[in-house]
Amino acid sequence: MDGKEFSAFRKKLNKTQQQMARLLGTSMKAVHSYEQGWRSIPAHAERQLLFLVTRVNRKKSRPVPCWEIKQCPAEDRMCCPAWEFDAGDLCWFINGTVCEGSALKDWKEKMALCRSCIVLASRL
């Protein structure tokens, strides 16, 4: 996530930099630095921000789970934490999900795949 995207999501949440800093548990200076591109956005801040945006955009009806959208085979579902914890709308948020047939090793690798996925795109 870059500074422009961070700023756009903050505005989508209708939050000031100070309010965003409180939500992320960081300083206003850090939020300003993220938006200006002076500091890279840490994974925990990106994750929290995306989580909040998906909650704002959540429709009143229960979202279709990722495994139905992606038509995952039963054997992949059985070893996927998104399915195990009935969190098909938060698959992008949970580490160790079985996407494209295997779990990815870290957040950066996972988010590269999730950003191109219809499941996350439909929730942002």
Burial class (CB in 10 A: 0-12, 13-18, 19+), 8: middle
**Where in the chain are the domains?**
3-57, 66-121
Q: What is the mean pLDDT of residues 63-67?
A: 89
Given the structure tokens 């195990």, which residue do they identify?
84
CATH fit for domain 3-57, picks 3.40.640.10, 1.10.260.40, 3.40.50.970, 2.40.40.20: 1.10.260.40
Mean pLDDT of 27-51: 95
- Alpha-carbon distance of 89 to 40, in angstroms, equals 27
Average pLDDT, the chain: 89
Averaged pLDDT, 86-99: 88
| pTM (two decimals) | 0.76
Residue 46, CB half-sphere, CA atoms under 13 Å: how many?
20
